[in-house]
Amino acid sequence: MSLESPENTAHDAPDVPAETPPAAPHEPILTLPPALTAYVLLLAIIHLRVLLPPVWEEWTNLVFGFIPKRYDTTLLDVTYPGGAGAKVWTFVTYSLLHANLSHIVFNVLWLLPFGSALARRFGALRFYVFMAVTAAAGALAHLITNEHALAPMIGASASVSGTMAAALRFAFVQGSFLSFTRGDADAAAKVPALSLWRALRNGRVLGFLAVWFGVNIIFGIGSIAVGMEEGQSVAWQAHIGGFLAGLLLFSLFDPVQHSESNAAGALPSPPK
């Protein structure tokens, strides 16, 4: 091993101006945050249950799917596997099951843009709790409107609807992911959200709401089931339950500080 003499090191090396360290790269707007990636992987792993014998898959749907009749004692008594515990956990676990490949792909495709923005803004823990709460809200809406239903409801659509509604509170703010002056993912995660009152007075938000509710009502009344097999239907009431929960409860999960000056949709002033 050769060594360089101290003299050469001290006197022969030319003066080189110190280089400014490169700025940290901004995260692209479409990069999936780890929390959402883990959630999608969980859905995919659970969906492998379709490879089980049909009787086992049916048992899984009955134990972990949401069945309104489980809470109804006024009709013919029907016993479902899962016991008393299933009356609690199925408010959430149904959202992790899907009927077939097209069903899960359809939900994931809708989840990617809105779920990415929300997971990046909330952080992993808040995001997972939010998904559980909106799933439970969807199940409650389905229970109220289908109290005697015998078939299990499955699918993440209520939670996906919740992420769409929650994202509306900041998606159109300057610098966010649906604004005309879209920034990178980091900027979109930090823009101030609109208050609920201001959001409901925003023309772009109102337009999105009109289209979303219109599509869901058409799908429900017209029995149009995307990704469903014959005999299956869209639980559109659960979609609305999850959507309303996401829209109304967003502020309880949002860690970004709000102020009156930011509520109108302006970016906060940079620190001095």
Alpha-carbon distance of 115 to 166, in angstroms, equals 9
Q: Rg (Cα) of the chain, in Å, rounded? A: 24
Length of the chain: 272
CB 86 within 8 A of CB 80: yes
Q: Which domains does the chain have, with CATH numbers?
A: 31-253 (1.20.1540.10)
pTM of this structure: 0.78
Alpha-carbon distance of 212 to 163, in angstroms, equals 13
Question: Residue 16 has what pLDDT?
Answer: 47
Question: Residue 144 has what pLDDT?
Answer: 94
| Residue 183 pLDDT greater than 60, yes or no | no
CA neighbor of 240 nearest in space, from 172, 139, 171: 139
Banded model confidence at residue 19, pLDDT cuts 50, 70, 90: low
DSSP, res 254 = -
**How many helices (H) does the chain have, and how many strands (E)?**
11, 0
SS3 200: coil
Alpha-carbon distance of 256 to 139, in angstroms, equals 29
Question: Residue 37 has what pLDDT?
Answer: 96
The string of pLDDT tens digits covering residues 132-163 is: 999 999 999 999 999 888 899 999 999 999 99
CA neighbor of 258 nearest in space, from 183, 177, 199, 200: 199
Give the amino acid at 203: G
Buried b (16+ CB within 10 A) or exposed e, 165-200: bbbbbbbbbbbbbbbeeebebebbbbbbbbbeeebe
pLDDT over 90, % of the chain: 55
Question: Residue 72 has what pLDDT?
Answer: 80
| Residue 219 pLDDT greater than 80, yes or no | no
Banded model confidence at residue 23, pLDDT cuts 50, 70, 90: very low
Q: Which residue has the higher pLDDT, 217 or 233?
A: 217
CB 99 within 8 A of CB 57: no
| Residue 250 pLDDT greater than 90, yes or no | yes
Alpha-carbon distance of 238 to 89, in angstroms, equals 16
Other CB atoms within a 10 A radius of the CB of residue 133 amount to: 20
Banded model confidence at residue 264, pLDDT cuts 50, 70, 90: very low
Strand partners, 153: 66
